[in-house]
């Protein structure tokens, strides 16, 4: 009977179907909509209550009310239509009104009812896609990974919506906003982008265009400020500010972008790096560029090559500013590899012209050179680049090895046997090269530690070497093995096992979630490696998905063991992890500087981003901790750090805590403790159970995660072996259900 009534209602209301986000002329709004409401009210008054003919009138009225922003009234009218006669359009209108009104679970329910009815008619593929889209938007608002399935289904039903998946991954779902808001933002952003791309004008006209772009973006930001959809607008305005040579404002917008979207946002890192260049803050610029490169490596977007090329360019220009011309050339090579259109920039560099000059008119080797506007580096003609080109000459500069550092032997081999072939990764700890150990005929990885190592002083350097040798003494099948620790003057090199594959972070970017059985298979060797290392008195201190590798052969490797992040300078990405603004371009250096200079941190708040990120949590008091080891060098990645870490406490239980966070992220696709105030939430264990996010997970999973995430280490699960036993029991329980 319900289906018969639904079919009747569907036929009556089909003629009133209109696109979810249709375009309307701005002049037809306002008073015209109020007049439409009056006409609909008059038509409804002529009908008997609950008459079937009132169904399309209520549906139309709901649409008009949504255009006026009156979502509660629109929901009421749509539900009234569905009550008279269950029909797909009524449920779709109700879902839209609930989505825009913030009633996300109810929106998912109504969208599902609409989809169920639309599937009855093959002629309504477009409307079916809209129902899936609304459901996906509502799930996305709740951070439900199931949004991916809905957006994929929408694209399958309507090929015009195939872009929804990539927009969802990038957090650019303007279509999830009310129609009028979405249209205003879309128009403003397109106008701003067009203004920023204009060429062939004089400088006065260009400046006026850019200022107008800033104004338009500002108007659009008022509609979505503080939401994830705001991040591309912040990035676009940061670009405009960089073009206007207002780097402080550009840097602030890049920080704001990272606050609302801390993951998968390399464009914000790029704009922050450019701002640093314009302020001649080359260290800050380099750290932001390297952070962006690391993010972009696992970023899935058609814009990836162009963003990577410009990040490498910014990195190279930063290094020129720091007098590292040889290393800069390697970045310019990578720039040209990612964007062949920028190959002329590499050629200019080899001729003695740094590819960092101001090309305001958009002409020359870089088709988007005005995007970066690195004119502040023209002064390098008398600095690092000049010294390099004069020493080797333009011809030799063109033939200089891309990756070989200046201090290796004349035969091209480090310590007489290690040949460095090419850079395969960069980060705050230094650059990693693929190499060959000619004495044993095996391929290896060689990490040249960051230049800041030389600033640590004799005591700091000796401590670091001791740590490195302790890790090199660990031999376990699931731990990346360090073959050698080599010193060459002020430089330090680590030679270790080269593994190829995908990190768990990479897998999560591809799959969004990992099922319990697979998670158990991946974490079993990790737990075994930690149990072994803890028995040797070693604590990893930076367990996270990016440090767990699934090799091409299917083996599991735990990376960056025990020497994680001690040299990191606190780049822009760290500053925004806690969801606060960056107050100045120089912020984020204190802790790194304190450690590198070998001096104590004078207060819990010292240390810029990282120091502030771990301050103010109800971690165990020093008297309660007692015999746990301490360090002034607080290391780790904030989402995976235990509360006691803020006290500089080092204990094996902090690795167990991180394992709990990693397991939660693998199963649900998100962190248990989200910003803002994530550390306060950690202290209060304020998080949603994994089974509430992924129905079907056994109760044992929730129990073990809670035990692993206990804020006090003495109340926490004590060993990695215990963690593994609980995980295997949970996986076995899941197989039985």
Encode 688-702: b = buried (16+ Cβ within 10 Å), e = exposed: ebbbebbeebbebbb
Sign for the CA dihedral angle at 250, 255, 260, 262 comes to positive
CA 152, chain centre distance (Å): 21
Q: Which helix (H) or strand (E) holds 187?
A: helix 179-197
Q: Which 3 state secondary structure label does DSSP give 419? A: strand
Longest CA–CA span in the chain (Å) reads 96
Q: C-alpha angle 282/213/184, rounded to 5°?
A: 125
Instruction: Tell me the catalytic residues.
Output: 542
Cα–Cα–Cα angle for 387, 390, 391, rounded to 5 degrees = 80
Please give the Cα distance from 284 to 281 (Å, whole number): 6
CA distance 620 to 714: 10
For residue 688, give the nearest of 702, 676, 699, 698 by alpha carbon: 702
Q: How many CB atoms lie within 10 A of CB 626?
A: 8
Give Cα separations from 722 to 6, 365, 657, 728 (angstroms): 55, 59, 13, 10
CA distance 717 to 657: 8
- CA distances to 321, 591, 616, 646, 661 from 604, rounded to whole Å, are 33, 10, 9, 8, 24
| Of 503, 557, 565, 560, residue with least CA distance to 528 | 557
* CB-based contacts of 103-108 (< 8 A; 24+ apart in sequence): 103/75, 104/138, 104/139, 104/141, 104/142, 105/138, 105/142, 107/134, 107/135, 107/137, 107/138, 108/135, 108/138, 108/139
Size (the chain), residues:
737
Q: DSSP class of residue 485?
A: E
Residue 39: how many CB atoms within 10 A of its CB? 14
User: Are 316 and 275 contacting, i.e. CB atoms less than 8 angstroms apart?
Assistant: no
101 phi and psi, to 5 degrees?
-90, 0
Task: Name residue, tokens 């966070």.
Answer: 661
Give the H or E element holding residue 427.
strand 418-427
Q: How many CA atoms lie within 13 A of 398 on its CB side?
A: 11
Instruction: Give the C-alpha separation, 470 to 452, whole Å.
Output: 21
Return the residue matching tokens 């009812």: 113
Contacts of 93 (CB under 8 A, 6+ apart): 59, 62, 63, 66, 74, 77, 78, 81
């Amino acid at each position: 009977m319900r289906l018969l009534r639904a079919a009747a209602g569907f036929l009556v209301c089909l003629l009133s179907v209109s696109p979810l986000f249709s375009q309307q002329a701005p002049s037809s709004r306002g008073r015209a909509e109020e007049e439409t409401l009056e006409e609909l009210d008059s038509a409804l008054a002529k009908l008997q209550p609950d008459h079937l003919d009132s169904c399309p009138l209520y549906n139309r009225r709901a649409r008009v009310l949504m255009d006026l922003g009156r979502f509660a009234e629109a929901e009421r009218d749509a539900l009234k239509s569905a009550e008279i006669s269950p029909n797909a359009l009524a449920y779709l209108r109700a879902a839209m009104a609930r989505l825009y009104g913030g009633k996300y679970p109810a929106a998912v329910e109504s969208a599902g009812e609409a989809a169920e009815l639309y599937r009855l008619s093959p002629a309504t593929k477009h409307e079916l896609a809209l129902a899936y889209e609304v459901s996906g938007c509502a799930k996305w608002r709740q951070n439900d990974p199931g949004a991916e399935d809905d957006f994929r289904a929408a694209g399958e039903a309507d090929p015009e919506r195939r872009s929804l998946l990539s927009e969802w991954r990038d957090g650019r779902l303007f279509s999830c906003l009310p129609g009028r808001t979405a249209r205003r933002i879309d128009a403003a952003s397109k106008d701003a982008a067009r203004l920023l791309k204009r060429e062939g004008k004089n400088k006065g006209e260009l400046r006026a265009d850019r200022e107008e772009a800033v104004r338009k973006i500002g108007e659009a930001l008022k509609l979505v400020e503080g939401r994830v959809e705001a991040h591309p607008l912040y990035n676009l305005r940061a670009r405009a500010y960089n073009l206007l040579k207002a780097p402080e404002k550009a840097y602030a917008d890049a920080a704001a972008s990272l606050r609302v979207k801390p993951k998968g946002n390399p464009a914000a890192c790029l704009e922050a790096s450019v701002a640093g260049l314009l302020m001649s803050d080359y260290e800050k610029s380099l750290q932001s560029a390297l952070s962006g490169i690391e993010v972009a490596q696992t970023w899935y977007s058609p814009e990836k090559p162009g963003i990577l090329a410009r990040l490498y360019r910014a990195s190279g220009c930063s290094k020129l500013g720091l007098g590292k011309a040889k290393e800069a050339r390697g970045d310019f090579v990578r720039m040209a590899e990612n964007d062949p259109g920028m190959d002329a920039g590499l050629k200019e560099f080899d001729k003695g012209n740094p590819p960092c000059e101001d090309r305001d008119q958009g002409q020359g080797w870089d088709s988007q050179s005005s995007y970066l506007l690195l004119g502040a580096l023209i002064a390098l003609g008398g600095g690092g680049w000049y010294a390099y080109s004069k020493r080797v000459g333009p011809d030799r500069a063109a033939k200089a090895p891309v990756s070989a550092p200046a201090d290796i032997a004349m035969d091209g081999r480090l310590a007489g046997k290690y040949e460095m072939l090419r850079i395969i990764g960069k980060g705050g700890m230094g650059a990693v090269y693929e190499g060959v150990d000619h004495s044993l005929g095996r391929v290896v990885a060689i990490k040249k530690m960051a230049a800041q190592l030389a600033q640590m002083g004799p005591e700091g350097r000796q401590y670091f070497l001791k740590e490195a040798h302790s890790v090199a003494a660990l031999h376990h099948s699931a731990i990346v093995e360090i073959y050698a620790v080599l010193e060459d003057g002020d430089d330090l090199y680590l030679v270790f096992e080269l593994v190829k594959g995908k990190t768990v972070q990479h897998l999560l970017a591809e799959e969004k979630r990992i099922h319990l059985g697979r998670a158990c298979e991946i974490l079993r060797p990790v737990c075994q490696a930690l149990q072994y290392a803890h028995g040797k008195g070693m604590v990893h201190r930076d367990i996270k998905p990016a440090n767990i590798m699934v090799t091409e052969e299917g083996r599991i490797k735990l990376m960056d063991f025990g020497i994680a992040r001690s040299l990191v300078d606190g780049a822009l990405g760290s500053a925004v992890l806690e969801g606060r603004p960056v107050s100045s371009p120089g912020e984020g250096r204190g802790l790194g500087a304190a450690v590198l200079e070998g001096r104590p941190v004078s207060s819990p708040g010292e240390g810029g981003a990282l120091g502030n990120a771990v301050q103010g949590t109800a971690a165990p008091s020093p008297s309660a901790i007692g015999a746990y080891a301490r360090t002034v060098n607080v290391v780790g990645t904030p989402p995976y750090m235990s509360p006691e870490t803020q006290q500089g406490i080092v204990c094996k239980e902090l690795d167990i805590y991180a394992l709990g966070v990693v397991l939660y992220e693998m199963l649900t696709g998100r962190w248990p403790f989200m910003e803002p105030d994530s550390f306060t939430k950690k202290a209060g264990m304020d998080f949603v159970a994994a089974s509430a996010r992924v129905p079907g997970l056994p109760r044992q999973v929730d129990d073990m995660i809670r035990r692993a995430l206990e804020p006090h280490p003495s109340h926490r699960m004590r060993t990695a072996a215990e963690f593994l036993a609980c995980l295997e029991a949970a996986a076995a329980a899941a197989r039985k259900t």
